[in-house]
Amino acid sequence: FFLLLFPALEFLKYPDTTLDKIARGYILGSAFSSLIIFFIYSSWIGFLPDTYYHWFRNIAAGKITDLGNNFFRIVLPEHLLVVLAILIIASYLMKNPKDKILWFYLFCSSFVIMLNFSRIYFVALAVGFIILAFKQNLKHWFFVSTMVAASIFVMFISTHFIASRGQSTGLELLGVRMVGVTAPVDELSGAIRMALLPDIWRTIKLHPWMGSGLGTTVSFVHPVTKILETRTQFDWGYLEMLAELGILGTLAYLIFLLIILCSLAHLAYSATGQFNAPGPLLRGLLAGGAALFVINITTPALFQGFGVLYFAFVLCLVIQLSYDHQK
């Protein structure tokens, strides 16, 4: 995946408006696709599991989950970048809270995350916003942070209320998701995650230093069906890294990523005025990188395609800015 470094370096030669247009198109496309899919199933045009669901699950690698009351969770791997987009846009808004266009794209991104409904994404956003508070106008930081949290909450309540035909606001669903954090065995996804642990530890112990290689599988007994299942998704990002890369590979990779973030932090907070790059972009990228480390607790965000793409872009930006400064 890090071969993406070379086309990324070439891409930085294009005008800034090119990347801006791609980012705007990505956010709008993600929001509209999530909205359309949600509408199809919440209005009973489609029924799980139909032909489209199988395409969505097997080809697009996404998930459509019925959470009850006609509310469906829409998940795609590329939603990982939406978390990063929220932090970058928020960083710009903390400098200029009156930019209506940025608010529009922030709300579109928040809508995608609301329908994604991944708890770890919300935790990652919280950590990212804490990092954005550093050397920031705290009044603007508090306003933007509050608006993001409030918009996600209001969107969830209103969407759930409309989808359920006025039968529910979805607050009970929030309670169920919180139970998965405090008592994981009482919630299905949490129970599956806990059931995976014994075989994950066994796999790590087989080759602790060098790992078992990419694509390593683990087996577990499904908490509901009681059937033995085998899968490549560990649902534990750092443990998956240890199982596949080993202790040495994991440490080397994490140190490499931390060096990138340290270099980015230097550009963002110590030398912003010396480089031809906006401070809000660099600070947003730094917060996004930290968010990926949080997401990697339950998802292989750091060595998944989109996560690697993100760090490849950041690395290219750091190299380019350092090179321009030396000229």
pLDDT at 185: 46
pTM of the model: 0.91
Centre a 10 Å sphere on the Cβ of residue 43 and count the other Cβ atoms it contains.
10
Q: Tens place of pLDDT for every residue, the chain, 327 residues?
A: 667 777 766 766 666 667 788 899 999 999 999 999 999 999 999 898 889 999 998 898 899 999 889 999 999 999 999 999 999 999 999 999 999 999 999 999 999 999 999 999 999 999 999 999 998 889 999 999 999 999 999 999 999 999 999 888 888 887 655 554 444 544 677 788 889 999 999 999 999 999 898 888 999 888 888 889 888 888 899 999 999 999 999 999 999 999 999 999 988 887 555 555 578 999 999 999 999 999 999 988 998 889 998 998 899 888 888 776 565
pLDDT at 187: 64
pLDDT at 177: 55
Separation of alpha carbons 6 and 160, rounded Å: 44
pLDDT at 17: 65
